[in-house]
Amino acid sequence: MYIIVLLLFVITFLFGPQWWAQYTFRRYAKPLDRLQGTGGELARHLLDRFEMSHVKVEKTDPNSDHYDPTDKVVRLSPDNFDNKSLTAIAVAAHEVGHAIQDHRNEPLLAWRGRLAIFANAIQKFGVAAMMVMPVVTAVTRVPALGGLLFFIGIGSMFMATIVHLITLPVETDASFNKALPILESGYIEAEDIPKVRRILRAAALTYLAGSLASLLNLWRWIAILKR
């Protein structure tokens, strides 16, 4: 019984934020005629309004909304690019919020980018360490060396989660210091403000939700190594 409760707790902890974010996005994805334009149109309008005409707006894969500071592109999933829904305009405004951070050279966004590159490199190194660990242990017959490689691999997988935890203020700023004041300035009606707040909160937690879900890789590696 205790094992089942613990398992349910772990699953809820790892996947709960992701499920909640996706539920929130779907809940407010219904097209509304009263909105002034699609997510893609709003993103283009806001970029021009804030003197960022050099930043492009492109359609990308589903559930892959993001701002690319290297290529200077706001990328929106098909539903958010083409639809006139609260989710579409809130997510578009959130990603434009990141573009504003970049345009203003705000240090948190640049710091997150550097930290993410470092984390990705460390994570790849950690995966390699986990893959060669059984071979190294068998060849050298030194269990301590295998244990060292194991802890290197585990530590690297935590790195992505740590990156997203540390950089959560970047997402919060894009949602509530950038996107929300913009949308409240005449782009949405008063009755829609609480709903948009929920969507922007979900958008801010998307990175963290994905990172928590990625921790499942630890359980997969441990299960593989126990075989």
For residue 73, report the phi and psi dihedrals to the nearest 5 degrees.
-135, 130
| C-alpha distances in Å from residue 72, one per residue of 69, 87, 119 | 5, 22, 22
| C-alpha distances in Å from residue 9, one per residue of 3, 16, 19, 153, 214 | 10, 10, 14, 25, 16
Cα 32 to the center of its chain, rounded Å: 26
How many residues are given for the chain? 227
Asked about 95 being catalytic, the answer comes back as yes
Q: Which residues contact 56 (CB under 8 A, 6 or more apart)?
A: 71, 72, 73, 74
How far apart, in whole angstroms, are the C-alpha atoms of residue 110 and residue 66?
15
How far apart, in whole angstroms, are the C-alpha atoms of residue 114 and residue 125?
17
Q: Which one of 41, 51, 58, 95 is the catalytic residue?
A: 95
Residues that are catalytic: 95
